[in-house]
């Protein structure tokens, strides 16, 4: 099958390569001319035979919206656009409606597999009309892992990215659980071989998983993780997952806590904890640390100027 691929970065480039290895003709476009097959989106569209299929693999948000808008004006009735980035599902619905005015189909595909996808295949979650998804099945069959699993037509437009959003939220919670378990093991003076402890869980346990395999691999390279800083970004899908939970009144305590833990990781000196320290000092006389790292007197230390609490609070 012939397909256009827009965005040839780590994911898009590897996906294009996997498709070529599977016998498909891929015409790729990227802003980097050294990896691009054509010089512009217009050139890409002209190289493809109608009815065309164009896969967009660029960052979510403004870059994806701008690309879809350009394709709307370049493509023809009967063509189809696939958004394989991490777009918000509500954007998918807007894109489908916009392209639909020109008779252009739209399929959203949540893609998981990262840098290992070229070798192992990509898990694909598609949303869209049966007609459009069915037409693209040769591409999906090549991209997905071998075997029965790895692809789902999750539902109507937006369903693919909604499913991927929830997938990433679950991923947040799983990673946070592994991370907290690792920290507790490291803090213990009983367990002295933490990397091998995790490795022993890779088979025969209910937490065996690819994430656990990757954790063991990371500890093998850096047993104490001394080369890393405890700072974690978020792609945005964790936030969307929590917001969707609010919209649907579905409690997500583990995923929400994992997202907030990432926020906390970016604070070298937590503003909220400053206030907690100040309050503990005020009501309990607990010692506080200064900005210079020195420990100061508690509020009830000799000489401290402490206002007595109200009578009702005594």
The H or E element that residue 208 is part of is none
Average pLDDT for 133-139:
98
Given a contact cutoff of 8 angstroms between Cβ atoms, the answer to whether 12 and 35 are in contact is no
* Full-model pTM: 0.85
Query: Catalytic residues, which ones?
Result: 164
d(CA 151, CA 123): 6
Contact 195, 219 (CB under 8 A): yes
- Give the residue among 34, 31, 17, 24 at the shortest CA–CA distance from 67: 31
Q: Which CATH class is domain 164-265?
A: mainly alpha
Is the distance from CB of 1 to CB of 20 less than 8 angstroms?
A: no
Can you give the pLDDT at residue 229? 86
Q: pLDDT band at residue 232, thresholds of 50, 70 and 90?
A: confident
Name the β-bridge partners of 29.
Answer: 6
pLDDT digits (tens, 9 = 90+) for 62-73: 999 999 999 999
Burial 185-222 (b: 16+ CB within 10 A, else e): beeeeeeeebbeebbebeeeeeeeeeebeebbeebeee
- Summarize pLDDT for 77-101 with one digit per residue, the tens: 999 999 999 999 999 999 999 999 9
Token pair belonging to 68: 């879809």
Q: What are the helix (H) ranges across 102-158? A: 117-120, 130-135, 137-143
3-state secondary structure of 296: strand
d(CA 171, CA 114): 13
Q: Note the pLDDT of residue 308.
A: 56
Sorting pLDDT into bands at 50, 70 and 90, what band is 201?
Answer: very high
H helix runs in the chain, sequence order: 10-21, 41-47, 62-74, 89-100, 117-120, 130-135, 137-143, 159-187, 194-200, 210-221, 237-248, 253-265, 271-284
Over residues 108-123, the mean pLDDT reads: 94
| pLDDT(140) > 90 | yes
Cβ contacts of 303 within 8 Å, gap of 6 or more: 297
Structure-token pair, residue 74: 């370049």
Q: How far apart are CA 110 and CA 158, in angstroms?
A: 9
Domains of the chain by residue range: 2-156, 164-265, 270-299
User: How is domain 2-156 classified at the CATH fold level?
Assistant: Rossmann fold (3.40.50)
Is the pLDDT at 111 greater than 60? The verdict is yes
Judged against a pLDDT cut of 90, whether residue 310 lies above it is answered with no
Cα-based distances in Å from 8 to 56, 57, 172 = 10, 7, 26
Rounded CA-CA distance 314/310 in Å is 7
d(CA 208, CA 201): 6
* Selection from 169, 138, 140, 136 nearest residue 246 by Cα: 169
Per-residue pLDDT tens digits for 34-56 = 999 999 999 999 999 999 999 99
Q: What is the pLDDT of residues 261-287, one digit of tens each?
A: 999 888 888 787 787 887 787 787 777
Nearest to 59 by CA among 38, 19, 86, 35: 86
């Amino acid at each position: 099958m012939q397909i256009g691929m827009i965005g040839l970065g780590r994911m898009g480039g590897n996906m294009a390569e996997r498709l070529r290895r599977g016998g498909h003709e891929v015409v790729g476009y990227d802003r980097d001319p050294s990896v691009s097959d054509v010089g512009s989106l217009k050139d890409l569209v002209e190289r493809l035979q109608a009815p065309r299929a164009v896969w967009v693999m660029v960052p979510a948000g403004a870059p994806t919206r701008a690309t879809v808008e350009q394709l709307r004006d370049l493509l023809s009735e009967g063509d189809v656009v696939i958004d394989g980035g991490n777009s918000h599902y509500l954007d998918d619905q807007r894109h489908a409606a916009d392209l639909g005015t020109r008779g252009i189909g739209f399929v959203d595909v949540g893609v998981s597999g990262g840098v290992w996808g070229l070798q192992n295949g990509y898990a694909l979650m598609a949303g869209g009309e049966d007609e459009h998804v069915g037409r693209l099945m040769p591409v999906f069959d090549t991209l997905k892992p071998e075997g029965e699993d790895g692809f789902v037509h999750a539902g109507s437009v937006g369903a693919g990215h909604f499913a991927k959003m929830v997938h990433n939220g679950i991923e947040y919670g799983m990673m946070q659980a592994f991370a907290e378990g690792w920290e507790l093991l490291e803090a213990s003076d009983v367990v002295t071989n933490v990397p091998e402890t995790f490795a022993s869980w890779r088979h025969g346990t209910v937490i065996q998983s690819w994430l656990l395999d990757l954790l063991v691999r990371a500890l093998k390279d850096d047993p104490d993780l001394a080369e890393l800083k405890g700072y974690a970004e978020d792609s945005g899908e964790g936030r969307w997952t929590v917001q969707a939970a609010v919209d649907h009144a579905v409690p997500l305590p583990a995923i929400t806590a994992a997202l907030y833990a990432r926020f906390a990781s970016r604070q070298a000196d937590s503003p909220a904890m400053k206030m907690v320290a100040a309050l503990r000092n005020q009501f309990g006389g607990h010692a506080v640390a200064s900005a210079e790292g020195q420990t100061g007197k508690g509020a009830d230390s000799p000489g401290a100027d402490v206002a007595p609490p109200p009578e009702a609070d005594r």
